[in-house]
Amino acid sequence: MANKYIFTSESVTEGHPDKVCDKISDSVLDVAKGLDPANRVACEALTTEGLVVVTGEVSRKCIENIDFEQVARQAIRKIGYTAEGIGFHADEVHVDVRLKPQSGDISQGVDGTGLFKEQGAGDQGMMFGYATSEGDSLDGGCELMPVPIFLAHKLARRLTGVRKSGILPKLYPDGKTQVSVEYENGKPVAIRNVVVSSHHARDYKLADLRTDILEQVVIPVLAPTGLVSEKELHAEKDNVESHQVYINPTGAFCEGGPKADAGLTGRKIIVDTYGGMGRHGGGAFSGKDPSKVDRSAAYMARYVAKNVVAAGLAAVCEVELAYAIGVAEPVSVYVQAGGAAVPVEKISAAIREVFNLKPAGIISSLDLLRPIYEPTAAYGHFGRTEESFTWERTDRVDALKAATGM
């Protein structure tokens, strides 16, 4: 008997209030790394109508040399908050900067000047990486990501793209997407429900908006997957047998962005990772330099899991890395592998042999001291094809095969 279920994941656009904060935090990080790769950053932001607060800890050199207010304004401007009368504007928002130097007690464990004479983890905690081949048969593949989150991100990026390109100029930056995928025996077989909500100008009629988003966003992204047809996407939503599409289902969405809802850095951790598939250690990414294993070890865990699946050692792989503050070696490395071609114990041993899992090794392997972080702040940290996303490479496949005797 077939095992059927529906799994749903969501994404948000870069204009969502939480993502505005992530973008500001990672923009601060990039400017700091551009100034000096050794700079440390743990930056968080809060936003609401007419206000941004930038806080956290940075290296003293950053405080002396960076205009954080202008960094925040430029990030907001790049997102597209430049329209008048929507309660949030790059040039008009008040920016309150409350950054301070990093604690010396923390830095000694990271610098190798503490009890252990090498770079240790910037904090304790556990981080997870995940990869799956479930979307390999889809047009173009899904970069070894779960299908629901991969497609939700594509919708969110397309929603932003049609706004910024002028195709749908009455859209504003805030938006959300959601995709429900039906699985049969662990494989995606159909898209069942889609939700797209977009902030928009008051003179944009709802009927026109729904038609435009369906035709310019939903159909171009989802119809080519083969999991739903253009005819099904046009189906009336009151037909319970149809593939339902909900566009701005509450009606008008004229009041959005930070005017309508407060935002915080690091509040979209499931959007940032695997959409609820696999587990999450709880640590956010944005605004943290790679000495913080919350970020760098999560990137490494994804790198490991993706290479395991790309090597054909498993159809699905989840990797947990755990650390103690100030200690270099991970306190545990845990591997789960579905559809494994070799015993999991062999995969685990090969991971230890092939990958350097110490914080300094992670930073070196993935080249993480560069200003590469602002693009990660929206549309997910994983499943991306940009060159700077080094943790998405599959360059350890041959080494893993050799280590497992494949």
Q: How far apart are CA 236 and CA 243, in angstroms?
A: 9
Establish whether 16 is a catalytic residue: yes
| Catalytic residue selected from 182, 255, 261, 329 | 261
Secondary structure class of 86 (helix, strand, coil): coil
Q: Out of 267, 280, 370, 393, which one is annotated catalytic?
A: 267
Catalytic residue among 10, 14, 18, 392: 18
Q: At a CB cut-off of 8 Å and minimum separation 6, what does 268 contact?
A: 12, 16, 18, 19, 22
| 285 assigned to active site | no
221, burial (CB in 10 Å: exposed 0-12, middle 13-18, buried 19+): buried
Asked if 105 is an active-site residue, the reply is: no
Q: What is the DSSP string of 200-256?
A: E-TTS-HHHHHHHHIIIIIHHHHGGGSSS-HHHHTS-TT-TTS-EEEESTTS---S-
Q: Which of 23, 33, 40, 292 is catalytic?
A: 292
Given the residues 176, 259, 381, 401, select the one marked as catalytic: 176
Annotation marks residue 292 as catalytic: yes
401 labelled catalytic: no
| 268 flagged as catalytic | yes
Q: Is 22 a catalytic residue?
A: no
Radius of gyration of the chain (CA): 22
Of the residues 44, 143, 174, 289, only one is catalytic, namely 44
Of the candidates 7, 14, 19, 150, the residue annotated as catalytic is 19
- Set 10, 26, 57, 212: catalytic member: 57
243 part of the active site: no
218/154 Cα distance (integer angstroms) = 10
Among residues 123, 212, 294, 374, the one annotated as catalytic is 294
Is position 143 annotated as part of the catalytic site? no
Choose, from 268, 295, 302, 381, the residue flagged as catalytic: 268
Active site residue 358: no
Asked about 262 being catalytic, the answer comes back as: yes
Active-site hit among 190, 262, 324, 349 = 262
Any catalytic annotation for residue 205? no
Active-site residue, from 7, 10, 16, 403? 16
253 an active-site residue? yes
Question: Quick check: 177 and 10 in contact, CB under 8 A?
Answer: yes
Q: How many CA atoms lie within 13 A of 21 on its CB side?
A: 29
SS (H, E, C) 151-215: HHHHHHHHHHHHHHCCCCCCEEEEEEEEEEEEEECCEEEEEEEEEEEEEECCCCCHHHHHHHHHH
Active site residue 320: no
Hey, which residues are catalytic here?
16, 18-19, 44, 57, 176, 253, 261-262, 267-268, 288, 292, 294
